[in-house]
Amino acid sequence: MHKFSLTCVVVVVAAFAGLMTACSFANESGTRDSHVANTQNSALNNTAPVSEPKPQFFELSENPRASKAGFDFSVQLVATSPKQTIMLYSMTAPESVEARDFAIDLIETGKSRENAKENSILEQFDKLRFGVLKFDPPSSRGAEFILRLDSPQTGPLELNVTKNTNLANSESPLNEGDRSIISREGSIEQGDYLVSFNGFGLYTRNLQADQANAQPRTQEEDLKAAQTRPAAAEPQQTPAPVEPRKITQELAEGKEIWSDASFRIENRVTKEVKILYVVILEDGQVKSRILE
Amino acid sequence: MQRETCDAPNRSFFSFSIRCLIFLLSIIMLLGMFGAPTPATTVLAQGGGTDDTDESDAEAAVFIRNPTFEVGTTTSWTKRPKTGNGILYAEQSQNAIPTNGSWNAALEPNGATITMQQMVLVTVKTKYRLQVWVSSNGVTTQLIWWTKEEGDHVCNTATKVFPDYGPINCDLVVPAGTTKFRVKLRALSAPSGKWVINDGWSLSSQTHFYAGARKNGAFYGVAATIGTPIPAIREPNFSYSTVNILRSCTGCPIGLAGMEAGIIRGLHTSCIPKFSFSTSDLGWSNRPIDSPRPVVGVAYRFYLFRISTNRWRWQVWQGMTKIYEHPGDISITANGGFDSGTYISANGEVDSPNRYNDMGVSDLTGLSWMTSGLLWNSWNGWNTSLNTGPPYVRYDYDGNNIQVYGNNGNPLPPGTPCGY
């Protein structure tokens, strides 16, 4: 009995020693893990990128537009990513001229000419057409684009589309996050129409008029105007991400949305106004709907 | 399927001790096995084809699927060769730093050279960093990217011995014509009993994800009301909701002169949200403010504005009360100074090399800009939309409001705590 008990004690003591050793190792293991963490954190902190604003590498040229012999072509919006270049354009042309009659090339500074991969009509307002051009992605962050249009009726036409604004990184290749969509500002007259960029998203008011009619205000007035949500005395849950609007979801048909924008089309004769709402999808498709 | 060992960190001492006690009394003392993580015998065998030309794993996404194995399996990964002694399985022991759990994938060569792999979609001619955390008991690993056209690119060979559990990287540029490739981790032949664990896979062409609205013109100030988000910072970097006033500048850091202000969480602040600002003169390095501090869920109005030639003010307001003003004027002296901006922006940013950070949700409302006459105007729209690409950071908006939110592709469960 005693011998058995002694054996038990030895076993238990040995087991306890083993337990402590194992647990000691576990803690040590945790410590080692923390050491790894600290080392890693330290290494990362030493090279941690600063929270820096994102440079703007290019912008639209001052007037991306070409006109000749009743033909009027203007780029309205340029979307670039490492996967593609998309341009939305508005165009008026004599009835005898179809969009397909035009050969459209994209010339990127220092690169060879590239044919449009796609040139399709998005919507038509009598003689005013909205179309989509698709090209390969820019070869560098500071790409400068020139469009060259040619048809038997007009002969060759060129328009500068973008210009480099940041020489520091202009030669750098695009990376995954170099995506931007730049719109034309203000309004242009094309045929009987006044075509205006009406803001990103679905904007059904008159953005140009809103800008023109904006009343400058003092800081106190600005503070009062900004009180759209009450200053919470107690912490609140942050809002949930805003769901895309129903119309946006309908146009996207379940696909990933890259961006959306609105154009205001005013018939200068009849004063009739329509909103062209455009959704650009991640896969490069461009969907649209005319809103009365 | 789940390997249990005594060396798992991040568990309470008591639960650990109980498990250890049971484990100890039954096995440990007899086998003398404790210490380094020991491979389990439970195997999740992976199916699939037999070689690299096989397309059975052609299913691919723009991210590495199941990069952390926290689902408790190695689903989305295949083992090559399909047959043979080498095994691939999910095991639970060490917590690789970028992940939130203790599951890993394990490879046991058992005398053979074996590989775990999956296909990912990539963008041609784009730079990427491929990363995985590895540790072993003496197995040499190779990190590889494979293209159909060029075969294996062995870009990192390492033998990391436990307790060293750290990342190995490959920097690569996707060749012309390649739209997808396989990422692979190969364990070189090693005898039975040898293992390598891995975790925290990522494939990223950048670390800094960003979305925002930008307006061009001539500006002398910018303002926005910014809601304090609840980001989940799992890596030692940051998320930021910010307004900027800028101009392009040759010779300035990142080619920009100007300043920004907003709410930061992560970089230099651990998990505490802080008001912060930076300027081009500071190399865009953040200057978090220790007091006062923003409260999660509360919105504050930020003003950056010029008061006279090259003299700027930064203020933070809560309601109609000014709660902070940067002491003294802010002046930018380098590269011709800064007397006005040619563009203003409102943004959300998140930096996350391994895509484990989530910036939370932040409203930036009441966007305003200042005229040369020290008066404020509403933005009423903007002309540039920036978005690094879903599922990173997105926004929704009307002419004077945006919302920024998102993560870097590995969504975290709601309520995931901040911390690293």
For the segment B82-137, what is each residue's pLDDT rounded down to a tens digit?
999 999 999 988 766 555 578 899 999 999 999 999 999 888 877 788 989 899 99
Interface touch A52/B284, C-beta < 8 Å? yes
Question: A247: which residues sit within 8 A by CB, 6+ positions away?
Answer: A202, A277, A289
B303 and B315, same domain (yes or no) = yes
Angle at B300 between CA B297 and CA B305, to 5 degrees: 155
Judge whether B218 is closer than 8 Å to chain A, CB to CB: no
* Three-class secondary structure assignment of B297-332: CCEEEEEEEEEECCEEEEEEEECCEEEEECCCCECC
Min mean pLDDT across A13-17, B12-16, B191-195, B410-414 is at B12-16
Pairing of strands B341-351, A145-150: unpaired
ipTM of the modeled complex? 0.78
Question: What pLDDT, in 10s, does the model give residues A250-266?
Answer: 999 999 889 999 999 99
Note which residues in 89-148 of chain B have CB less than 8 A from chain A. Answer: 94-95, 97, 123, 125-128
Q: In terms of pLDDT, which residue wins out, A146 or B418?
A: A146
- What residues contact residue B208 under an 8 Å CB cut-off, 6+ apart? A49, A52, A177, B349, B350, B351
Residue where a domain stops, chosen among B151, B169, B204: B204
Amino acid (one-letter) located at B340: S
Q: Is the pLDDT of residue A67 over 60?
A: yes
Token code pair at residue B99: 């992940």
Give the mean model confidence (pLDDT) for residues B209-222.
92
Q: Is B79 exposed, middle or buried (0-12, 13-18, 19+ CB in 10 A)?
A: buried
Quote the pLDDT of residue A35. 22
Minimum distance, in Å, between the CA of residue A4 and any CA atom of chain B: 17
CATH of the domain at B330: 2.60.120.1270
Q: How many whole angstroms separate alpha carbon B161 and alpha carbon B76? A: 26
Domain count, chain B: 2
Q: What is the pLDDT of residue B415?
A: 55
Question: Is the Cβ pair B10, A14 closer than 8 Å?
Answer: no
Please tell me whether residues B175 and B215 are part of one structural domain: no
A58-211+245-291: CATH topology is Immunoglobulin-like (2.60.40)
Same domain? B267 vs B360: yes
B20, part of any domain: no
Cα distances (Å, whole numbers) of residue A271 to A192, A193, A265, A274, B262: 10, 9, 10, 10, 44
Residue B418 in this model has a pLDDT that exceeds 80: no
Domain that holds residue B141: 42-204
Q: Which residue has the tokens 């058992």?
A: B110
Asked if B252 and B105 sit in the same domain, the reply is no
Task: Tell whether B21 is covered by a domain.
Answer: no
Is residue B126 located within the same domain as residue B221? no
How large is the average pLDDT for residues B314-326?
Answer: 96
Q: Are residues B61 and B150 in the same domain?
A: yes
Q: In angstroms, what CA-CA distances link B116 with A94, A246, B39, B142, B195?
A: 62, 43, 16, 11, 13
CB atoms B371 and A167 under 8 Å = no
Question: Could you tell me if B399 lies within 8 Å of chain A, comparing CB atoms?
Answer: yes
- Please tell me the distance from the alpha carbon of residue B354 to that of residue B199, in angstroms, as a whole number: 11
Q: What's residue B74's pLDDT?
A: 95
What's the one-letter identity of residue A66? A
Q: Where are the beta strands (DSSP E) in B151-271?
A: 151-158, 166-173, 180-187, 196-204, 208-219, 221-227, 239-248, 256-265
Given the DSSP bridges, would you call strands B274-279 and B196-204 parallel, antiparallel or unpaired?
unpaired
Residue-by-residue DSSP string for A31-99: HHHHHHHHHHHHHHHHTPPP--PPPP-EEE-S--EEEETTEEEEEEEEEE-SS-EEEEEEEE--TT--G
Residue B19 lies in a domain: no
DSSP A245: P
Q: Which residue has the tokens 């800008």?
A: A211
Instruction: State how far the Cα of A7 lies from the Cα of A20, in Å rounded to an integer.
Output: 20
Comparing CB atoms, the residue among A14, A214, A235 nearest residue B377 is A214
Q: Do B179 and B286 fall into the same domain?
A: no
Q: Domain boundary residue among B204, B232, B267?
A: B204
Report the C-alpha gap between B106 and A108 in whole angstroms.
49
CB B349 within 8 A of CB B362: no
Give the pLDDT mean for B160-167. 87
**Buried b vs exposed e over A10-31: b needs ≥16 C-beta within 10 Å?**
eeeeebeebbebbbebbeebbe
Is there a single domain that holds both residue B277 and residue B237?
yes
The C-alpha of B74 sits at a distance from chain A's nearest C-alpha, in angstroms, of 23
b/e code B231-254 from CB counts within 10 Å (16+ = b): bbbbbbbbbbbbbbbbbbbeebbb
Q: Which residues, 6+ apart, have CB-to-CB distance to B353 below 8 Å?
A: A44, B129, B131, B202, B204, B207, B235, B237
Amino acid making up residue A15: A
Residue A13 confidence (pLDDT): 40
Question: How far, in Å, CA of B252 to CA of B254, rounded?
Answer: 6
Q: Are B258 and B238 within one domain?
A: yes
pLDDT in tens, A205-253: 999 999 889 889 999 999 998 886 554 444 455 567 778 889 999 999 9
Residue with tokens 């953005």: A207
Q: Are residues B172 and B243 in the same domain?
A: no
Cβ–Cβ gap B375/A29 under 8 Å: no
Q: How far apart are CA B367 and CA B170, in angstroms?
A: 42
Q: What is the mean pLDDT of chain B?
A: 80
Distance CA A230, CA B298 (A): 9
Contact B304/A at CB under 8 A: no
Half-sphere exposure of residue B85, counting CA atoms within 13 Å on the CB side?
14
Q: What is the mean pLDDT of residues B214-243?
A: 86
Domain residue extents for chain A: 58-211+245-291
Q: How far apart are CA B317 and CA B104, in angstroms?
A: 47
CA-closest candidate to residue B332, choices B391, B419, B256, B408: B256
Write down the residue that tokens 């978090």 correspond to.
Answer: B288
Could you tell me where the beta strands, DSSP code E, fall in B71-165?
78-80, 87-92, 103-108, 114-121, 127-136, 141-147, 151-158
pLDDT at residue A198 in the model: 94
Beta strands B401-407; B393-398: pairing state: antiparallel
What is the secondary structure of B1-45 as a DSSP string? -----TT-SSS-HHHHHHHHHHHIIIIIHHHT--SS----S----
**Could you tell me the CATH number of the domain that includes residue B61?**
2.60.120.260
Best CA proximity match to A265, nearest among A211, A179, A210, A190: A190
B49 and B194 in a single domain? The answer is yes
CA distance B286 to B279: 8
In terms of Cβ atoms closer than 10 Å to its own Cβ (0-12, 13-18, 19+), residue B55 is exposed
Beta bridge partners of A89: A75, A131
d(CA B265, CA B112): 47
Q: Name the residue among B34, B303, B396 with its Cβ closest to that of A25.
A: B34
Out of B186, B204, B222, a domain closes at B204
B323 lies in the same domain as B396: yes
Tell me what pLDDT residue A47 has.
38
A161-165, B211-215, B234-238: lowest mean pLDDT where? B234-238
Instruction: Indicate the residue of B204, B250, B284 with minimum beta-carbon distance to A167.
Output: B250
- Please give the model's pTM, rounded to 2 decimal places: 0.71
Mean pLDDT of A133-154: 87
